[in-house]
Structure 1
Amino acid sequence: MSTLSLVLIIGSITSLVLLASYLDAKFQWRLNDWMNGECSNPFVKSVTDKQQQRLEEKDAQIEALMARIETLETIVTEPAYELNRKINALK
């Protein structure tokens, strides 16, 4: 095996891995998992759909928590709340 053929083989394997990684990131294909034997069909989106559903649930939970924080901030910044704290501090 000559040096040129060895360089071409290593270069093509590297290019294949980089292309598979790019396609995984861009289209959410699972080519790297498929090449490593972790899945039987790289184009099945059942796992990515579950991940998308989890992300949507987390987003909804974050929005609910943000609304609760805003409510707490309005309660704490009310002048009546500050007056009540001062009265309680005098006791």
Structure 2
Amino acid sequence: MTIELFILLFAGLLALSLALCWLDHRHGWQWMDWLNGKVSSPFRKSDSPCNSQKKDQTIGQLEERIRVLERIVTEPAYELNRELERLKEKGR
């Protein structure tokens, strides 16, 4: 009877561990880190302020690049050059 109980206990702990790992991955709850004493709250997201600042900086840079590209594409000279190239291609 003890071997069956040991196997049942082991299977239950394994199932619980897998469920917690899945919840960590799916919702970012950090249950396994909390159980290991690495975080104070399992429901706090793992984004640090430093990481958030880096993301904000990258987003700002990308927005600026998009503004520059929009300016280039909407210039009349760009449209004229594109139309001339299209006509040259048709003539060939």
User: TM-score normalized by structure 1?
Assistant: 0.53
User: TM-score normalized by structure 2?
Assistant: 0.52
**Structure 1's 32 and 52: CA in aligned 2 closer, same or farther, altered over 3 A?**
same
**Structure 1's 59 and 13: CA in aligned 2 closer, same or farther, altered over 3 A?**
farther
- Please name the residue that 1:19 is paired with: 19
Q: How does 1:1-91 map to 2 (within 5 A)?
A: 1-2=2-3, 4-43=4-43, 45-48=44-47, 50=49, 53=52, 56-57=55-56, 58-61=58-61
Q: 2:51 & 2:7 partners in 1: Cα distance?
A: 41
Q: 1:50 & 1:32 partners in 2: Cα distance?
A: 22
Question: Which sections of structure 1, spanning at least 5 residues, go unmatched?
Answer: 69-91
Number of positions where the alignment pairs a residue of Structure 1 with one of Structure 2:
81
Q: Which amino acid aligns with 1:33?
A: D
**Structure 1's 66 and 9: CA in aligned 2 closer, same or farther, altered over 3 A?**
farther
How well do the aligned residues superpose, as a CA RMSD in angstroms?
3.7
**Structure 1's 51 and 35: CA in aligned 2 closer, same or farther, altered over 3 A?**
farther
